[in-house]
Structure 1
Amino acid sequence: MERMPLISCILIILSLSLISTGKGERFWKISPPEAQPAERLWRGKLGEALTGLVNARKGNSVKGVTELKKYLQSFGYLSHEIHNFTDSYDARVESAVKLYQRSFGLPETGNLDAQTLTQISTPRCGVADLIDGSSVTPRLKHFTFFHGTPRWPRRKRNLSYAFSPLDKSLGIDEFQLRTLLARAFHRWSRVIPVTFTATEDFESADVKIGFFSGNHGDSQAFDGPLGTLGHAFCPQNGRLHLDAEEQWSLNLEEDKAAIDAIDLESICTHEIGHVLGLGHSSLKTTVMYPFIHPRTRKVDLTADDVSGAQALYGINPHYSGGLHQAFDGFSLFFAVLSSLFSWGLFILL
């Protein structure tokens, strides 16, 4: 019994030191997309496949168009009824490219100019933007939902989450990972009446988080570094998957030499939005925008992100309405502490 005050003090100090990393962060911490050269195609399998397609247009037959078609189909811009892909840049490809350009505010030419190719090859979330091109996201559209607007039922507003037991082999610091996830979940729970609790029971958890490579059994294969970074499924599926082959960073300031580092907390915050039922936004500043550049930290919910979540679940009665203020210290402290308790930290001490 005499050890308890000392243990509590240690936990408080550790938690507060980790909580401090979540205060008052800007939307784009490292470098915004606008600062990147328009001609650059990001490294990665897709970027390599598209290098010969600059200024390709209808009527051309160029190596790499097949990969372009697969990309457009996977994100909903080209019908899934098309199966036999060739390198022919036909009218269907032109139409799909125009739809893609319209969705993200690019010049609607149907041609693969450098700006469009850079956008396509930028690392992104693997969740589709459209469904076979049938639900166009207008240029000025804000938040969106999955088809049918699924959400967690009222009786299920305290969601448990757990990590896959297989993740321990990745070499990611487990303490930092759990604290990072607690912060990411708290960003959403502070604005809506939904709470998240860490658990060790992966099979029964509402939200199942895991790192996977390539084909991993959900028909949405990962493609290696700087491609699709992660994906998540709508309510009440609860699966949240991250590409194990990315160069994940828990702290970009410490990983200054890692030029292709992807901020893990930013991706987790985005994917939790999908777990709640949000689709992608066409607004670049939002957390739910599907693209993110390496060495970019983007964790603060915007007014658009908050409005979308609250349209699904209502307003957290304790939410003050501030978007860029520091976290509510006490609520975040207890969220982190709850995650550490579930890990059995007291037992370890």
Structure 2
Amino acid sequence: MVTMNSKAISLFSHSSSLVLLPLLSCATSPESHDQKKSAFEFLKHLQGCHHGEKVKGIHDLKKYLEHFGYLSYSHSKNHTHANDDDFDELLESAVKTYQRNYHLNATGTLDAQTVSKMMMPRCGVADIINDEQWSVGARPGAFDLETVALHEIGHLLGLGHSSVEGAIMFSSISQGVTKGLHADDIQGIKALYNT
């Protein structure tokens, strides 16, 4: 089930237009998706990495997992390893948690499926969202504006991300698909507003 945010009610009335306006301004971006490089392109060369290895770019993986809440060196005795390229136990544990969250085989190794999932655009990453192709309705290579807007409205209402892939509040959005409310989204709203 989705998680809740108590600040959402006050944010909704004041910031719904602030969230939707940048999305609408991106809808007419003339650049082609093929001309742009994903912000997560660095993950490709890390495919196959596992515990015990030292590979250039692992520190970027650590930043990625820390940014999305899977990893925290600040509460660990391994704080000195936060910016190095060592695939340590804490990183392996974070990768396993990520894999379990996305219903992948929790090996702790950066297999092809894990890297592919990590490279998908994520909610809240403005440099990805503001550089993508937009459409209204499902169109290959483009993100459905209404699906993204519905997801962001869910956040404004207080919903967090869901681990249910069919839910509008799932943490990543695929190109070429449209989504509506899922039973998990509805259950989250009912729990949040006691209805």
| 1:108 positional shift | 1.1
1:102-113 matches, within 5 Å, as 102-113=100-111
- Check the 8 A contact 2:135/2:143 in 1, yes or no: yes
1:74 aligns with 2:72: no
1:279 match: 160
1:245 match: 131
| Structure with greater Cα Rg | 1
Instruction: Name the CA distance, whole Å, in 1 between partners of 2:57 and 2:142.
Output: 26
Instruction: Name the CA distance, whole Å, in 2 between partners of 1:296 and 1:73.
Output: 28
Instruction: Name the CA distance, whole Å, in 2 between partners of 1:101 and 1:251.
Output: 30
Equivalent position SS for 1:279: coil
1:55 match: 48
Counterpart AA for 1:245: D
1:106-185 matches, within 5 Å, as 106-126=104-124
Equivalent position SS for 1:295: coil
1:45 aligns with 2:59: no
1:301 aligns with 2:181: yes
Question: Normalized against structure 1, the TM-score is what?
Answer: 0.42
Instruction: Name the CA distance, whole Å, in 2 between partners of 1:303 and 1:252.
Output: 21
Number of paired residues? 155
Higher relative contact order (CA 8 A, sep 6+): 2
- Check the 8 A contact 2:137/2:178 in 1, yes or no: no
| 1:309 positional shift | 0.2
Question: Normalized against structure 2, the TM-score is what?
Answer: 0.72
Counterpart AA for 2:39: K
1:268 aligns with 2:154: no
- Check the 8 A contact 1:52/1:63 in 2, yes or no: no
Counterpart AA for 1:222: A
Equivalent position SS for 1:76: coil
Instruction: Name the CA distance, whole Å, in 2 between partners of 1:60 and 1:80.
Output: 18
**More strand by percentage:** 1
1:94 match: 92
Counterpart AA for 1:296: V
Instruction: Name the CA distance, whole Å, in 2 between partners of 1:312 and 1:50.
Output: 36
- Check the 8 A contact 2:137/2:177 in 1, yes or no: no
- Check the 8 A contact 1:283/1:289 in 2, yes or no: yes
Percent of aligned positions with the same letter in both sequences?
46
Instruction: Name the CA distance, whole Å, in 1 between partners of 2:185 and 2:95.
Output: 27
Q: CA RMSD in A?
A: 2.1
| 1:52 positional shift | 1.1
Instruction: Name the CA distance, whole Å, in 2 between partners of 1:65 and 1:308.
Output: 36
| 1:120 positional shift | 0.8
| 1:100 positional shift | 0.9
| 1:276 positional shift | 1.0
Distance 1:271 1:55, change over 3 A: same
Counterpart AA for 1:283: V
Listed as ranges, the gaps of 5+ residues in structure 1 are 1-42, 127-220, 230-243, 254-258, 316-349
Counterpart AA for 1:64: G
- Check the 8 A contact 1:77/1:100 in 2, yes or no: yes
Report Cα offsets for 1:68-118 as digits up to 9, x if no partner: 111100111111625741221111110110111122211111110111111
Report Cα offsets for 1:239-275 as digits up to 9, x if no partner: xxxxx3222223445xxxxx53111111110111111
1:7-46 matches, within 5 Å, as 44-46=38-40
- Check the 8 A contact 1:262/1:295 in 2, yes or no: yes
- Check the 8 A contact 1:55/1:111 in 2, yes or no: yes
Counterpart AA for 1:49: F
